[in-house]
Structures are given as C-alpha cells and as structure tokens.
Structure 1
Amino acid sequence: MQQDQHPDYHPVVFRDRAAGYAFLTRSTARSEQTIEWDDGRTYPVIDVEISSESHPFYTGRARSVDTEGRIARFERRYGAADTDEAI
C-alpha cells in the first residue's frame, strides 16, 4: 500500500459571513487565517458566501413564484377555458 496518498484531514471552522454563523467540522481545505473556537483551541477558518444558515432553500426564504400572473398570462395567450361546458 502506498503511503502519503491522501491529503491531511483536519478540523476546520467554516464561517458564513452573511448569516454570522460558524461551524467546526473536518476538511482537507487549508487557510492561513485562524480563529479561536469555543473550546479554547485555534483552528483554521474559511469564509464562505453561502451555507445552510443563509441558503434560501434551507431557510425557507426562497423566492415566491407569481402563480396568479403565470395563470393570467397562460389564459391571455391560449384563451380562457369556458367553464360552462359540460365535460
């Protein structure tokens, strides 16, 4: 078996600047910046733009779709369905 094939896997803090949230996990990512964590140890810190704390899918703040406008546009384009017709 070959030695030294895998990168160093170590604790790293990922910090979401938009949400003001940071979490400690293990990763192969490297950073020159460090941060002192709650346990008193110093870990490398990596700033990210989006994490689960600020992503619209996970927070429920996803953009809302204008359903009424889409239906009205469909009816204008293809004509309103006649609701008096018997099916």
Structure 2
Amino acid sequence: MESAAALAKELGRWNEVSDFYRRASELYRECGRSQPASDALAKGASALEEKAPEEAIKMYDEACSLLEEDGKEQMAFDLYRTVAALYVKLEK
C-alpha cells in the first residue's frame, strides 16, 4: 500500500496518496503494530504538506494519537514538532 501511495504521489493523485497511506496504516494496526502504522500516516502527511496541508495536519494528528494510545508518547515528539512547523507555515 505504501508503494501504491508513492506511485500516486508521482502521478499527482493527491486523494489517492492519502487513501493508500491510510489503508497501509490500518493494515499495520490490524497486525498490532502501532509504530509502523503511525509511520505510514506520517509519510502520507509529509507527502501532502505542499498540496493538501489540511489533510497533512489530520494525518499527523492521527499518527500522534496512535502512538499515544499505545503508550509511546515519547516517539510522537518529532511528529508534534513537524505539525507545529506546518501550522506556523500556514500562519495558524
């Protein structure tokens, strides 16, 4: 799913980028792997920062939530910093 998302990014199909990374995250969660699930959402958010910043913010938020639910708040630090920088960039 992540490979499909990368291909969608190359083709400029931004809605599909989000969908594929979200699906990859869901599949990781089904396997009980919160860290890779969060990473998939973060990759998607990073890919969408320029073209769909609001969607990127949502994906970063979901990635942080996944880590927090699994008791891995310390691993969410970089994601919080990234989303804060995106908020500043968008002047929010």
Shorter chain as denominator, the TM-score bin is: under 0.3
How high is the TM-score relative to the length of structure 2?
Answer: 0.18
Structure exhibiting the larger radius of gyration computed from Cα positions: 1
TM score, norm. by length of structure 1: 0.19
Larger helix fraction of residues: 2
